[in-house]
Structure 1
Amino acid sequence: MKIAFVGKDGSGKTTLSSLFCRHLAAAGAPVLALDADINQHLGAALGLDDAAAPVPMGEHLHEIKDYLRGDNPRVPSADVMVKTTPPGAGSRLLPLTDDNPLWRRFGIDADGVRLVATGAFTDEDLGVACYHSKLGAVELLLNHLIDGASEYAVVDMTAGADAFASGLFTRFDHTFLVCEPTRKAVAVHRQYRDYAREFDITLSVIGNKVTDQADEEFLRREVGDDLLVCVGPSAPVRAMEQGRPFHLDDLEPAIRIALDTIRDAVDATEHDPDVFLRQMHELHLRNARSWADTATGADLSTQIDPGFAFPRARDPHQAVTTR
């Protein structure tokens, strides 16, 4: 399953996404964590120090494109590969548990979680680049990722509804919006819900920083059935955020139950690779017509391989081609 944590800046999405990654890994599940927030804090939340930061993917986009295109004849060079370019016959797919050059180059282990990151703004980016140029690496990885049964890719996304500035918002099986019991936070939920409706996005709300029954009633009144679970203050989580010793076993029972509830919701989500691929093609055509054809000087609609399909069986190294 591909999972996103989104929400207003400061809502606690990085903290909750890291707790969920740790929770999954502690249960023995393979986990890929992707830090796609402009504020790169997921590594620290997973217990890494600054010296252990992964190589930033956003600074090596050409290298990533060149690897993923493989010998796909529809993508003759990395120069005509854009963030929405879909896989086709000859493309390199990325099994989540595989040992491949991209995972070795950009991934690091964080206590059983494989972490990759876009990287933060550099001095060269300031004033001249948009952060979405870095997010292209995440979108390409998700387009080529093969996640098998009981394997999880968890993405800590940019704040607010910023994901809708790219096709990233459709790349997930389940999106969790972390929402504080405030009017600003529920406004982000309404915006996200309205944008997502057109694309049939599976969206659940995690109430965070919920201190009493009044907070929970406020959220339930404002977000309705989207509210999945509420999480209150936690001394062990505060210790984690302050860099003090932390272990999952220290968590309060209510928070461990909440993490179980989130996993149950993910596991109950239907994953349809055909829908995933169709959305990928639709967004690629939209981007091609809007800007990518002009930017590359090529007709990028020809990059869509009508005979390609994601493997349904657990044979992630081979795409299924039908003619």
Structure 2
Amino acid sequence: MKIAFVGKGGSGKTTLASLLISHLADQRRPVLALDADINQHLAVALGATEDEAAALPALGAHLPLIKDHLRGANPRIASADAMIKTTPPGAGSRLLRVAEDNPVYRACVREVGGARLAVTGPFAERDLGVACYHSKVGAVELLLNHLVDGDGEYVVVDMTAGADSFASGLFTRFDVTFLVCEPTVRSVAVYRQYLDHARDFGVRIAVVGNKVSDERDLEFLRDRVGDDLLTWLGRSDHVRAAERGEVRPIGRLEQANRAALAAMCALAEATDKDWPTYQRQAVEFHLRNARAWGNDRAGADLADQVDPDFVISPDALSRSGHAPVPN
């Protein structure tokens, strides 16, 4: 399952992502965590020190390696330099699995708090005034376009806050998007905005209430979110301890809050994979980006990178020389 966490800034999005990642790692589920937020806090939320988090390799710094590896022997892509963040896979491309050994993972993925984590990297001083953060997130979009996850395998992405997630096609790369919502008017407004933007793309959104103190908070969310409210987490001593830098085992999380994590996993695992739609949306956003800026930058028509007969799937993974994904 590919899962995204979105929500208003300060809603607890990164905290909930880290709790779910720790929950999965504790159950020895194959999980790959990706920090795609402009505020790079997921590593610390998983238990790294600030110095350890700052030392993590950035995906954006390894973009040439990522492109070269994913390109493989795809004859439609003249060179790794010709790839852009939306380039979809085709026959000959190298596909990825959640848990495997490959040059990209060796360069960019590190174990943090029992989970495997890759980060886009922070917004650096050299970027100020000349770049947008979504240029860094492009590495995540490329990886997800080429990644085949099997049953019981998880990719969990902490997205940037608010509606900024819609600045690229990355928002379509997930089986379930968990929108973290506080019982506040401003947090609900972000939920409605996200719902409006995602409606035409078949994005499955489930709301997870956070910082729910009492029945009035819960009724507020039920009234404004309705059936989209999947579950909720209450105030947590476990989370408060983590915010003070005290790392506790996930088993010490309050029982009701662990039940909320289990409900999130149950929803994800009950969601059917739709590989043809996944490929179609990758192609759609690739063509949008090609027309908007990619063709001019490449000096070529990047529509030629699209393989009309290819659909990423477990079968395509097997044909590319990988072992079958687990059933």
With normalisation by structure 1, the TM-score equals: 0.96
Equivalent position amino acid for 1:31 in 2:
V
- Tell me if structure 2 keeps the 8 A contact 1:6–1:159: yes
Displacement of 1:310 in angstroms is 2.1
Displacement of 1:313 in angstroms is 4.5
Query: Residues 24 and 305 (structure 1 numbering): CA distance in 2 closer, same or farther, change over 3 Å?
Result: same
* Counterpart position of 1:306: 308
* Counterpart position of 1:205: 207
Q: Helix, strand or coil for the counterpart of 1:44?
A: helix
Displacement of 1:50 in angstroms is 2.9
Distance 1:217 1:124 in 2: 46
Q: Helix, strand or coil for the counterpart of 1:270?
A: coil
Distance 1:307 1:69 in 2: 17
* Counterpart position of 1:61: 63
Distance 2:61 2:139 in 1: 9
- Tell me if structure 2 keeps the 8 A contact 1:43–1:110: yes
* Counterpart position of 1:236: 238
Q: Helix, strand or coil for the counterpart of 2:126?
A: coil
Equivalent position amino acid for 1:41 in 2:
H
Equivalent position amino acid for 1:103 in 2:
Y
- Tell me if structure 2 keeps the 8 A contact 1:93–1:317: no
Deviations along 1:145-176, one digit per CA (max 9) or x if unpaired, are 11111000000000001111100000001000
- Tell me if structure 1 keeps the 8 A contact 2:221–2:229: yes
Displacement of 1:111 in angstroms is 3.4
Distance 1:175 1:18 in 2: 15
Q: Of the candidates 268, 290, 293, which is equivalent to residue 292 of structure 2?
A: 290
* Counterpart position of 2:38: 38
* Counterpart position of 1:141: 143
Displacement of 1:307 in angstroms is 2.2
Equivalent position amino acid for 2:94 in 1:
R
Distance 2:86 2:127 in 1: 22
- Tell me if structure 2 keeps the 8 A contact 1:310–1:319: no
Equivalent position amino acid for 2:48 in 1:
L
- Tell me if structure 2 keeps the 8 A contact 1:31–1:153: yes
Structure 2 residue 40 is matched with structure 1 residue 12: no
* Counterpart position of 1:245: 247
- Sequence identity, in percent? 58
Q: Helix, strand or coil for the counterpart of 1:161?
A: helix
Structure 1, 160-169 or 67-76: larger mean CA deviation:
67-76
Distance 1:121 1:142 in 2: 21
Distance 1:9 1:181 in 2: 14
* Counterpart position of 2:26: 26
Displacement of 1:59 in angstroms is 2.4
Deviations along 1:187-231, one digit per CA (max 9) or x if unpaired, are 000000011100010000000011011111111111111101111
* Counterpart position of 1:272: 274
Distance 1:12 1:319 in 2: 40
Unaligned runs of 5+ in 1: none
Displacement of 1:319 in angstroms is 7.5
Structure 2 residue 66 is matched with structure 1 residue 83: no
* Counterpart position of 1:3: 3
Distance 2:234 2:129 in 1: 39
Equivalent position amino acid for 2:298 in 1:
T
Structure 1, 180-189 or 89-98: larger mean CA deviation:
89-98
Q: Helix, strand or coil for the counterpart of 2:127?
A: coil
Displacement of 1:303 in angstroms is 0.4
* Counterpart position of 1:48: 48
- Tell me if structure 1 keeps the 8 A contact 2:76–2:305: yes
Query: Residues 245 and 169 (structure 1 numbering): CA distance in 2 closer, same or farther, change over 3 Å?
Result: closer
Deviations along 1:111-131, one digit per CA (max 9) or x if unpaired, are 331100000011211111100
- Tell me if structure 1 keeps the 8 A contact 2:148–2:317: no
Equivalent position amino acid for 2:175 in 1:
D
Structure 1, 63-72 or 206-215: larger mean CA deviation:
63-72
* Counterpart position of 1:157: 159
With normalisation by structure 2, the TM-score equals: 0.95
Structure 2 residue 224 is matched with structure 1 residue 222: yes
Equivalent position amino acid for 2:100 in 1:
D
Deviations along 1:207-266, one digit per CA (max 9) or x if unpaired, are 001101111111111111110111111101111122113111211110011111110011
Distance 1:212 1:239 in 2: 21
Distance 1:163 1:107 in 2: 23
Distance 1:134 1:316 in 2: 30
Displacement of 1:79 in angstroms is 2.0
